[in-house]
Chains A and B, each alone.
Chain A
């Protein structure tokens, strides 16, 4: 509320009677996107670029009218906000999100001739924009309604369930689904490999990073040089780092038989992990160092004065108090590593990046999406999960 009070013009303050400008704008954006941009695209086969279709072609008159009504309903409710209206808005947003795959089913029924066995449906720009804007609406509504994380997660899980049911039973024409069906085993192992790479890289970085941060606290001189090196590593483009590692690792694998038996080689998992760890160290070390140093001197002094030994002070006081900031570092690092691992596919490390680069090579955009969307989802899930964990670990609930 203090931020609200600091706003210069009283007219900008939300006091219940003025329209919620954010939601009204978002609703208008969705309406514009829905009517002006392609809702879906249809291609007779995998390689040919699809033809775009607008709202009327995709959903027919009744469907387009229903969507328009729903989106306008959001705008109208938002122009006279009240607690009840916000609840109705939340319901409307969730309903629209749940109806989106049903719309795709409708357009595949309307647009695709069952005779054309190769024909496939692509998701158009309007769909993506509406989905994105709906998520923004959820963010705004979460603030207005003080929704807890659990409620929001449940709502999104419900929407995800509807999507999954539609995909499983009625959306075999969707290009994304066809790409998935063509390589479901490969997809699953790519997801596992992606998570494995990220998991190993992050856990090794956490251990190394903690050790490094502790050393820095003990030897002040180490601090500057270590941060200089880590900062430098961070500036090397990821592709270049993978390339730079190729030669020395290939040489090592050729000359040290033990290493090659352990699976070290110029390409593949080893260089990918080394590069991922190199990138992950900086955020981990920086956050760990800051977290440990920021613990209040008064508290630590009291711990010492009460007769806690050095180890007890570290494990019982310093570390638990540093944990939320430290976990923040792990969160940032993990999200970053999930993205970077996509690039690791280039040097044969596998993971979801494989689909992105194969798709780019074959000019099959839906295959790129098959790689990119799970990466995005993975990043969001990890972000939310670790964020919730850090929040739960705050001393006494808040600080």
Chain B
């Protein structure tokens, strides 16, 4: 668990982070969102003591971070940065094995752990273990970056705009993989990003920062439904907000059982989002979709009226 209470950071007269408090419960994914220069990276780097905080308490698993040796603290925390920070003179395998080696694991243990991680991040060992970072694509390099952060199996993972430098397609792919990884590993993740869509997609909890302060925090749906001010609303995409909300809700949570009428022509898997359902309705000029399971067997039906009614209901009582 990561817990910050009344944490501030001053550089001389300037206050970079001003009295912020938030909590990331064990196994949860928290995104720090804000425009550049809002103090989100500073906040992240205070947690692994790359920057020392000026005031307040930062507590990891019940212990204030000040009592740890900073070096030992950092070895317990996975850290991923935007430009990967891979060592260009080391092979992929050696880069991934860094922290285990620092922790004096035996060579055999390091090797098997590296192989395990490369497998986990879909980097075939034979193909990549002996490559150097400059031989990798941006996406591959960042996979190695994530593998390196996970190497010593830390409970806590800090990610500083890890996908910021990637092209949109690679970024989306890595986001999906990270989400999948998180659903298996249940790390306590603090993820810094300026991309609200990325945050909405990945996080259980969102912390929106502006000029060193927290403007609002809550669940993605909660934020979408009740942004506290125009700044948060614009970050959330203004008029697009309704669609973003729809993209967080799955079709199968809102379908009704099959009516007496004939099944609709268009079929949609239950795991898709309401946003995708809306898009399909627009495309097929239809106000009704047949919901199917993974074997393409019809299990229910979704109508436009239903979607709109659900949205109203959601506004009345936010999820969680």
Contact = CB atoms under 8 A, between A and B. Distances in A.
A106 interface: no
Contacts of A301: 50, 81, 85
A14 B219 CA distance: 63
Contact of A397 (B48, B74, B86, B132): B132
B77 to A, nearest CB: 8
A302 B81 contact: yes
Interface in A299-347: 299, 301-309, 312, 317, 320-321
A115 interface: no
Interface string B126-150: 0000001111000000000000100
B99 A298 contact: no
A396 B85 CA distance: 15
A299 B134 contact: no
A303 B102 CA distance: 11
B99 A305 contact: no
B61 to A, nearest CB: 17
Contacts, number: 70
B79 interface: yes
A398 B135 CA distance: 10
Nearest to B149: A306
A321 B99 contact: no
A158 interface: no
B119 to A, nearest CB: 21
Given A307-B102, A396-B133, A299 B72 contact: no
Given A321-B88, A397-B132, A399-B88, A306 B50 contact: no
Contact of A303 (B73, B83, B87, B91): B87
Given A305-B45, A307-B73, A395-B88, 15 more contacts: A299-B86, A302-B84, A302-B86, A304-B50, A305-B79, A305-B81, A305-B85, A306-B98, A312-B102, A321-B88, A321-B89, A395-B87, A395-B89, A395-B90, A396-B132
A309 to B, nearest CB: 5
Interface of B: 45, 48, 50, 71-76, 79, 81, 83-91, 98-99, 102, 132-135, 148
Contacts of B133: 396
Main secondary structure on chain A at its contact with chain B?
Answer: helix
Interface centre among B73, B88, B148 (most CB of A within 10 A): B88
B111 to A, nearest CB: 18
A308 B87 CA distance: 13
Contacts of B98: 306, 308
Contacts of A299: 85-88
Nearest to B160: A305
B88 A305 contact: no
A306 B98 CA distance: 8
B42 to A, nearest CB: 13
B89 A309 contact: no
A129 B257 CA distance: 95
B134 A398 contact: yes
Interface in A63-107: none
Contacts of A320: 89
A324 to B, nearest CB: 10
Contact of A302 (B73, B75, B79, B134): B79
A298 B161 CA distance: 13
Contacts of A306: 74-75, 79, 98-99, 102, 148
Contacts of B81: 298, 301-302, 305
B85 A307 contact: no
14 contacts: A298-B83, A299-B87, A301-B50, A305-B45, A305-B74, A306-B98, A306-B99, A306-B102, A306-B148, A307-B99, A321-B89, A395-B88, A396-B135, A399-B88
Interface of A: 298-299, 301-309, 312, 317, 320-321, 395-399
B85 A298 contact: yes
Interface centre among B72, B73, B102 (most CB of A within 10 A): B102
B102 A396 contact: no
A321 B88 CA distance: 8
A243 B99 CA distance: 57
A309 B76 CA distance: 14
Contacts of B89: 320-321, 395-396
A299 B91 CA distance: 14
Contacts of A399: 88, 134
A396 B74 contact: no
Nearest to A301: B85
B85 A302 contact: yes
A308 B85 CA distance: 13
A308 B133 CA distance: 19
A305 B48 contact: yes
A223 to B, nearest CB: 24
Given A298-B85, A302-B86, A321-B89, A307 B50 contact: no
B102 A395 contact: no
A191 B129 CA distance: 47
Contacts of B134: 395-396, 398-399
B79 A317 contact: no
Contacts of A321: 87-89
Contacts of B132: 395-397
A298 B133 CA distance: 14
A299 B145 CA distance: 12
A320 B133 CA distance: 15
Contacts of A309: 71
A301 B286 CA distance: 54
A395 B86 CA distance: 12
Contacts of A317: 87
Nearest to B79: A305
Contact of B74 (A298, A304, A395, A398): A304
Interface centre among A299, A303, A305 (most CB of B within 10 A): A305
Contacts of B85: 298-299, 301-303, 305
B148 A307 contact: no
A305 B98 CA distance: 12
A299 B71 CA distance: 17
